[in-house]
Structure 1
């Protein structure tokens, strides 16, 4: 999956959040805490963990839609909405709104992914009333004043211009275009230098009216608050939103079939290579087998096959990684590395050779056992703060997993057999790769390499 990048708040807010998160980090893991399915008096549902280790409350929430609801010729609407929701609302202008946040050390942020408009709210327990009230105002009565819109638009365009010379960004964007074509997933979530100037205040207001609604709302809360109080806060915050969203249907899509290769010329010292192909959806019963074997190939950091073959054995790149990316309507595996322009061809050959090898042979039993052990142990470490746990609980809801998934996850990992892992490897990688090369070396964009021929028996 793609995790959203939240726009940073002011320094005082960041410092307060850091202190709070540090306090929770020294507490025992929250992953084993009891997760409640809370329904407020007004019908707002949330996954909730009450934890009084420190006087902090963390809430993550999302609405379905995201950037997939952008008009085709106006990519970037959702991203601009996310950047503007906290730029003044109700009777508060932008400056006053942020002063209220800073005064109480409240962290409020929004971001847009392809499938969701997502937000985060963190506060000290004693400031919860004001924090939830500011969120309510941001969601129900954003200003979208012209001066604020143009200021944020300028910031977005500045970032897009910087990205136009960033080889990693260019490679990722081109890869999604190759994989998804005219589908909404093939468009840039942040928009383009051509589309963002044409976005109007009316577009922003229309997006809010169509997307922010209670029927697609998902909420996760972890912290020092009781269920009764939280139910009241949820009703006060989200209760006045429209009952139903009005979303444009987004079709399911399979990523383009490999092999395929694209080259983007850019005069930079280092050539960037992004590679991937069709993945496995989160709802697929074989997802965990794919997740485990993917860790073996490219998701295991210094222990992955790609790292050993590309970095350690050949010294072709400083780092190389590969991961699964799942969305509401499709799935990918995607990887990235950077190398000297004159070694781009060798790097691609090494990656392709290792992908072919694992597709044909699968992992070893030792690799499978080690991957399982790592994935089970790292989960507990990844959920050791209230904020991390809230983020995970929201993601589990978006992935339509059961509320007791944390308790079941290790057993699901343990159930993956060597035959399951080999079948997943063949499914993921036997067709070859979609590859995008960005840099100086046009020879790196040679004809695609065909998928490996089946072995004779």
Structure 2
């Protein structure tokens, strides 16, 4: 026997074994069980309750201990955002937060803050938003006191370095110039502007408003919004509650600034429906249509969450996805969304399609809404939506920091502390009659804001079918 014969025999044996096994497998094909017939115990939602402290200056903090890793996290929610920006200064709240972070403090230069945070492998970041600004902090446990001290300086004594302000304005201006390069983002921004027309939420930053913003505007925005009574903090991590409270009181307890924020009215009073078109030479057409919807925590809120899920936010099995994409192939992306806020809500549907299919896609979406408004949902749809919502709800809180942040957000929105528990109970007990009533009362597909972004040829085509469609030209100068 040659020295190569043994490997050859092994290979022949393996091939014979694999072929034999494949024959066995082919003789007994494997089939997946019907998911609808699977039985399993109910998912339990019993999250730990954060500790709450409120300092004499009004700063409220929610704390959950988490000793799995030697880190500490903070989310700070500030009553600020673009809806509070003065006319002609749109963008000032975003720039204020950005330059607070990058522009140094009265005690630390901008570069010193950056280098110190890098040394500690820590982060302090500012977000942006319409109705709130969220800050985040991440630190190793051993460095938390030092990092928290820097965070306190940033919030209390920002320097607003002129060089960093100029850089922030340049970056924001470039973002505005490039907005049209992202048609989907552009379409949704313009949809929001039209939806919130006549309300401060509908004002968008432009090149001229960013140019108008000076350091004094940032100082004034900080004075009005960055005060303890306008903030709620969420903290989690490898630290005892008593130690966290001691450090927080040391960092913020003697901060006695008072904010001065003018209230902003809820939108849609009045609401003016209309259909609008923006020309952008792009191979795709983007359709967004929407209307007002129930506010968060209202009686209709729970029923409409189910309605939205069935209409389009429920993914592959939703009515809009099934009919627009699966059955008719009219769009590569389509669905719906429901944004519920403390004093109002927004419901909308969207489709990304080709120009020739745009009129049909819009018509199908409107017909689906009309059918639900008229006939409600089937018992099967309601049962499936409830199960999916309740099952997915649990997994939205897969970390302790998410739980404590949600509790802080509820407090920020002045919702009950047990809102999350109430939510599951209310969804479970929803009667079909209430869902049908809500659909009939809320859905108004014929009285909505519709924004379409697409080519010139697409505009001429859809204008023949929707003669009331108005072409608009957007200028961000």
* TM-score, length of structure 1 as denominator length: 0.86
Aligned to 1:129: 145
1:147 to 147, 150, 163: 163
Indicate if the aligned counterparts of 1:261 and 1:447 stay in contact, CA closer than 8 A.
no
1:359 to 1:99, Cα distance in 2 relative to 1, 3 A: same
Distance 2:239 2:334 in 1: 43
Aligned to 1:83: 98
2:340 to 326, 330, 337: 326
Aligned to 2:357: 343
Distance 1:398 1:332 in 2: 19
1:444 aligns to 2:458 (yes or no): no
Q: Give how far 1:224 is off.
A: 2.0
Q: Give how far 1:340 is off.
A: 0.6
**Of 316-325 and 387-396, the range deviating more from structure 2:** 387-396
Aligned to 1:422: 436
Deviation per CA, 1:195-243: give whole Å up to 9, x if none. 1111111101100001111112112222222221121222233334444
CA RMSD of aligned residues (A): 2.3
Indicate if the aligned counterparts of 1:165 and 1:266 stay in contact, CA closer than 8 A.
no
Distance 1:193 1:379 in 2: 41
Distance 2:274 2:66 in 1: 50
Indicate if the aligned counterparts of 2:83 and 2:131 stay in contact, CA closer than 8 A.
yes
2:54 to 36, 39, 48: 39
1:50 to 65, 68, 90: 65
Deviation per CA, 1:320-356: give whole Å up to 9, x if none. 1211123455321123321111111111111111111
Distance 1:405 1:206 in 2: 35
1:30 to 1:196, Cα distance in 2 relative to 1, 3 A: farther
1:59 to 74, 89, 102: 74
1:171 aligns to 2:184 (yes or no): no
Distance 1:68 1:43 in 2: 23
1:382 aligns to 2:396 (yes or no): yes
Indicate if the aligned counterparts of 1:262 and 1:437 stay in contact, CA closer than 8 A.
yes
**Of 36-45 and 325-334, the range deviating more from structure 2:** 36-45
1:184 aligns to 2:184 (yes or no): no
Deviation per CA, 1:92-143: give whole Å up to 9, x if none. 2222211222222222111232222221112222221122111101111112
Aligned to 2:133: 117
Q: Give how far 1:75 is off.
A: 0.5
1:411 to 1:329, Cα distance in 2 relative to 1, 3 A: closer
Indicate if the aligned counterparts of 1:280 and 1:290 stay in contact, CA closer than 8 A.
yes
Distance 1:355 1:79 in 2: 36
Indicate if the aligned counterparts of 1:40 and 1:234 stay in contact, CA closer than 8 A.
no
**Of 347-356 and 227-236, the range deviating more from structure 2:** 227-236
Which secondary structure does the structure 1 equivalent of 2:174 belong to? helix
Aligned to 1:302: 316
Aligned to 2:329: 315
**Of 236-245 and 134-143, the range deviating more from structure 2:** 236-245
2:113 to 80, 97, 103: 97
Deviation per CA, 1:369-402: give whole Å up to 9, x if none. 1111111111221111233224322322223222
**Of 253-262 and 395-404, the range deviating more from structure 2:** 253-262
Indicate if the aligned counterparts of 2:288 and 2:452 stay in contact, CA closer than 8 A.
yes
Indicate if the aligned counterparts of 1:268 and 1:439 stay in contact, CA closer than 8 A.
yes
Q: Give how far 1:36 is off.
A: 2.2
Distance 1:122 1:393 in 2: 19
Q: Give how far 1:31 is off.
A: 6.1
**Of 30-39 and 391-400, the range deviating more from structure 2:** 30-39
Which secondary structure does the structure 1 equivalent of 2:236 belong to? strand
Indicate if the aligned counterparts of 1:125 and 1:225 stay in contact, CA closer than 8 A.
yes
1:376 to 1:328, Cα distance in 2 relative to 1, 3 A: closer
Distance 2:224 2:71 in 1: 33
Distance 1:245 1:369 in 2: 47
Which secondary structure does the structure 1 equivalent of 2:208 belong to? coil
1:435 aligns to 2:437 (yes or no): no
Distance 1:51 1:339 in 2: 46
Distance 2:424 2:342 in 1: 24
Indicate if the aligned counterparts of 2:50 and 2:404 stay in contact, CA closer than 8 A.
no
Aligned to 2:417: 403
Aligned to 1:18: none
Indicate if the aligned counterparts of 2:99 and 2:161 stay in contact, CA closer than 8 A.
no
Distance 1:174 1:166 in 2: 12
1:108 to 124, 137, 142: 124
Structure of higher CA gyration radius:
2
1:135 to 1:129, Cα distance in 2 relative to 1, 3 A: same
- Pairwise mapping of residues 21-40 of structure 1 onto structure 2 (< 5 A)? 32-40=47-55
**Of 86-95 and 386-395, the range deviating more from structure 2:** 386-395
